[in-house]
């Protein structure tokens, strides 16, 4: 994090990335002094409502984040920036997105949690678009031209006002990660009476185990335990009304809908109180670690991995077989996971896999058979990308192995 004083004193000359959060109400003119070097500008968590018309003076700007500000429309100045390809305006009050505000080079567009009712008719001209986050808006339809976004791999449409499933998405050849829960066309949430409902006051939260877009997971001690559950558990307390993936209630519904599986973190009970929605789960043993790391600004939609991570082809085959079985289980339950990634995968030293994040999951059993088949193809494509990532971790001496060649043929089938 930088300061406005540093900027005004000229101490940031030559920086490539600038991050300012100081309750700004106007765009600091001194930012233009960095035009020869600045590539990433993060002005999130301020009080901005507009950007200067000559933003294009930042001739090297590739990435711009302005989340948690006061914009009511996506600034048209964006389209004049010659290299701008990643745009994030999450949690503003944006109701208007014009064609003139969208740079042709756009590869990453985050407009989560705004008031957007429609996208421009020529949205499909964004042929480089790979990642599109629109959860928590007021969209009633998608433009037909989105079928031209042939490189689109991830889209978040949850918590909008879509009356029908957008069939145009089923034509996109690389779409692999799709979230659409919380729309009028979706199936109603189930009550899941088979899962116990418990009181939050009976759980004593200890330290945080992890957190994601939808909630914080903590270790907890269960007091007044009447259900013969473990004394020590994990509890995921969901965040606010809408997340980057959708409504927490839909995540809870999907997680409980898929039931038990040997490769899923075991759900034990739910908490549904007016001021707290949470899921109580079995505690994951400490020898499980994350298989991958989240996508970076460079990789966009694809996972990243530690440089020294590698596996034998036999271990990779075991990992893939487990994930394949899990995807088949989701299909049987008519739940699309929507976030099938290595960074959402936990793995033990012996190679046992566990999944537990259902933030982007969507139920689809109420849709037509053609739509269901299309959604299942999208999930299979995510599995193909997962296989591709795993094969990239294979030990060099194993790459002539018959098992490797067999797995390689399944990557994008």
* Beta carbons of 357 and 292 less than 8 angstroms apart: no
Q: Please give the helix or strand (H or E) that residue 330 lies within, else none.
A: helix 313-333
The pTM assigned to this predicted structure is 0.94
Convert the pLDDT of each residue in 360-378 to its tens digit: 999 999 999 999 999 999 9
Residue 215 has what pLDDT? 83
* Beta carbons of 126 and 152 less than 8 angstroms apart: no
The structure tokens listed for 258 are: 């898929």
Cα–chain center distance at 162: 20
Residue 400 has what pLDDT? 85
According to DSSP, the β-strands at 345-347 and 353-355 are antiparallel
Q: For the chain, which residues make up each domain, given as ranges? A: 196-281, 289-408
Residue 413 has what pLDDT? 55
Residue 412 has what pLDDT? 64
The CA-atom distances, in angstroms, between 353 and each of 264, 335, 344 are: 8, 19, 10
Cα–chain center distance at 200: 27
Residue 236, marked binder? yes
User: What topology is assigned to 289-408 in CATH?
Assistant: Transferase(Phosphotransferase); domain 1 (1.10.510)
How many whole angstroms separate alpha carbon 38 and alpha carbon 60? Answer: 6
How many whole angstroms separate alpha carbon 280 and alpha carbon 288? Answer: 19
The structure tokens listed for 59 are: 């001739």
Residue 242 has what pLDDT? 83
User: What topology is assigned to 196-281 in CATH?
Assistant: Phosphorylase Kinase; domain 1 (3.30.200)
Q: What is the DSSP letter of 187?
A: P
* Beta carbons of 12 and 35 less than 8 angstroms apart: no
Residue 128 has what pLDDT? 98
> What is the mean pLDDT for each group of 10 consecutive residues in the chain (413 residues)?
93 97 97 98 98 98 98 97 98 96 97 97 98 97 98 98 98 98 95 86 88 85 80 87 85 91 91 84 91 94 94 95 97 96 94 92 97 98 96 90 81 64
């Amino acid at each position: 994090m930088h300061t406005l004083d540093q900027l005004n004193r000229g101490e940031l000359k030559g920086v490539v990335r600038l991050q300012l959060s100081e309750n700004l109400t106007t765009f600091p003119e001194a930012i233009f002094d960095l035009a020869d070097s600045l590539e990433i500008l993060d002005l999130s968590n301020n009080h901005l409502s507009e950007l200067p018309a000559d933003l294009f003076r930042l001739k090297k700007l590739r990435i711009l984040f302005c989340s948690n500000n006061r914009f009511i429309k996506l600034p048209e100045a964006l389209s004049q920036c010659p290299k701008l390809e990643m745009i994030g305006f999450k949690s503003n009050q944006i109701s208007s997105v014009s064609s003139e505000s969208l740079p042709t080079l756009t590869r990453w567009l985050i407009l989560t949690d705004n008031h957007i009712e429609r996208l421009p008719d020529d949205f499909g001209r964004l042929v480089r678009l790979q990642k599109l986050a629109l959860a928590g808006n007021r969209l009633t339809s998608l433009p037909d031209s989105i079928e031209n976004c042939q490189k689109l791999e991830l889209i978040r449409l949850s918590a909008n006002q879509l009356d029908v499933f957008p069939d145009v998405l089923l034509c996109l050849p690389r779409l692999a990660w799709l979230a659409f829960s919380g729309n009028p066309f979706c199936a109603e949430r189930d009550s899941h009476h088979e899962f116990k409902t418990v009181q939050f006051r009976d759980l004593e939260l200890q330290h945080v185990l992890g957190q994601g877009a939808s909630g914080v997971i903590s270790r907890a001690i269960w007091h007044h335990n009447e259900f013969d559950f473990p004394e020590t558990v994990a509890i995921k307390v969901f965040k606010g009304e809408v997340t980057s993936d959708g409504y927490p209630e839909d995540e809870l519904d999907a997680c409980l809908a898929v039931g038990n599986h040997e490769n899923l973190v075991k759900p034990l009970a739910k908490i549904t109180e007016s001021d707290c929605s949470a899921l109580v789960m079995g505690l994951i043993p400490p020898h499980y670690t994350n298989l991958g790391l989240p996508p970076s600004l460079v990789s966009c939609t694809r996972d990243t991995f530690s440089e020294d991570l590698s596996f034998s082809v036999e271990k990779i085959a075991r990992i893939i077989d487990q994930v394949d079985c899990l995807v088949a289980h989701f299909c049987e339950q008519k739940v699309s996971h929507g976030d099938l990634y290595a960074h959402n995968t936990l793995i033990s030293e012996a190679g046992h896999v566990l999944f537990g994040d259902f933030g982007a999951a969507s139920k689809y059993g109420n849709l037509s058979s053609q739509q269901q088949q299309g959604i299942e193809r999208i999930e299979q494509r995510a599995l193909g990308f997962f296989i591709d990532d795993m094969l990239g971790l294979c030990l060099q001496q194993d790459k002539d192995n018959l098992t490797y060649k067999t797995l390689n043929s399944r990557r994008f089938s």
